[in-house]
Amino acid sequence: MPRRIALLNVSPSNAFPDMSLPWPTFSTWNRIQEQDRAALSEILAELLSHGALIGDAGRDHELYLLAREYQREISEFLAPLHLKLLPDPDRPIFQLRPVPGDCALMARFNKAETLLVLTLWRIYHDVRMENVVASVVVTPNDIWERLRLYFENIAPPTEAQLRDMLVKLRNRRLVRLQWHEDPARFGESQVEILLTLPRVIPFENAAAWQQQAALYQAPAEAAAEPARVEEDA
């Protein structure tokens, strides 16, 4: 069975198993200064709505610096939801990771979205293995070409479908998008694959990716419908 790829969905559930993360005391929240509380609310809203806080510039960078100062308090707040707060050691990023089997806040990708995420993961992996680059940027045309290469037995998404899926990934802070100014040239738009995406499906290497992708690569008449995939924490 394929793994499931899942992201956060802020729809609460009352069915919580035993805590796998320490239950918070919230005693340290007394040290949060009053002038920081509104911004801390923004940080929590960003993390729970999008699964990540990327502090590259502007207001997002200010929030990132504050999140770093209150990392312990934020982690305590998220623990009852079975969410881990993961800082990136090299870039201004905080990302949420559901505890497998415990977190009740999940939104699964459908099959088409799964194929897109798998494709973007492989593009990101290949580029980073070949070159030291600050960012990985591709176009929808590149994505269509790779989808046909990796999943030749599955019809690629239409322009409208691909646009909608990319917007969903942007909302999850997995890609950045810059649409071409000419709507007729959608295929030349810019799609930056963010570091957060390979963490959603953290394959150890290309061989592990291939094992998952192979579940979708069999001829249509010979392959059963693979289950949707879910994030491993």
89 and 135 together in one domain: no
pLDDT score recorded for residue 220: 52
pLDDT of residue 25: 65
Residues 83 and 116 placed together within one structural domain of the fold: no
Q: Which of 43-52, 82-91, 149-158, 219-228 has maximum average pLDDT?
A: 149-158
> How many domains, in total, are found in the chain?
2
Measured between alpha carbons, how far is 141 from 189 in angstroms, rounded to an integer?
9
pLDDT tens digits, 172-194: 889 999 999 999 999 999 999 99
Last residue of a domain, one of 39, 69, 98: 98
pLDDT single digits (tens) 108-129: 678 899 899 999 999 999 998 8
Do 212 and 114 share a domain, yes or no? yes
DSSP assignment letter at 74: H
Q: Does one domain contain both 119 and 205?
A: yes
Residues 124 and 32 in one domain: no
Answer whether residue 6 is part of any domain: no
Judge whether residue 165 has pLDDT over 60. Answer: yes
* CATH number of the domain residue 132 falls in: 1.10.10.10
Q: Is residue 105 part of a domain?
A: no
Q: Dihedral angle at the C-alpha atoms of 98, 30, 39, 100, nearest 10 degrees? A: 0
Res 10: pLDDT: 38
Most confident of 72-81, 93-102, 146-155, 198-207: 146-155
Query: Which residue among 75, 98, 121 closes a domain?
Result: 98
CATH number at residue 44: 1.10.10
More confident residue, 219 or 34: 34
56: pLDDT strictly greater than 50:
yes
The answer to whether residue 156 is domain-embedded is: yes
Degrees, nearest 5: CA angle 57-61-66: 175
Tell me what the mean pLDDT of segment 135-149 comes to. Answer: 95
Asked whether residue 232 is assigned to any structural domain, the reply reads no
Average pLDDT on 70-78 reads 89
pLDDT of residue 19 exceeding 90: no
Q: What is the mean pLDDT of residues 205-232?
A: 66
Top-confidence residue, 199 or 142: 142
Residues 75 and 120 both lie in one domain: no
Distances (CA, A) of 49 to 81, 132, 232: 14, 31, 19
- Do the domain assignments include residue 225? no
Domain that holds residue 77: 17-98
Cβ atoms within 10 A of the Cβ of 134, count? 6
Of 56, 8, 67, 7, which is closest to residue 32 (Cα–Cα)? 67
> What is the arithmetic mean of pLDDT over 10-15?
37
Cβ neighbourhood burial of 175 (10 Å; 0-12, 13-18, 19+): buried
Helix (H, G, I), strand (E, B) or coil at 45: helix
Same domain, 116 and 90: no
145: in domain: yes
Looking at the fold, whether 203 and 116 belong to one and the same domain comes out as yes
- Same-domain status, 88 and 182: no
pTM to 2 decimal places: 0.67
Residue 224: per-residue pLDDT: 43
Rounded to 10°, the helix 37-50/58-69 angle is: 100
Q: Are residues 126 and 193 in the same domain?
A: yes
Confidence class for position 18, pLDDT limits 50, 70, 90: low
Tell me: do 81 and 168 sit in the same domain.
Answer: no
In a domain, residue 73? The reply is yes
Query: Is residue 12 included in any domain, yes or no?
Result: no
What does the pLDDT look like over 89-101, one tens digit per residue?
Answer: 888 999 888 776 5
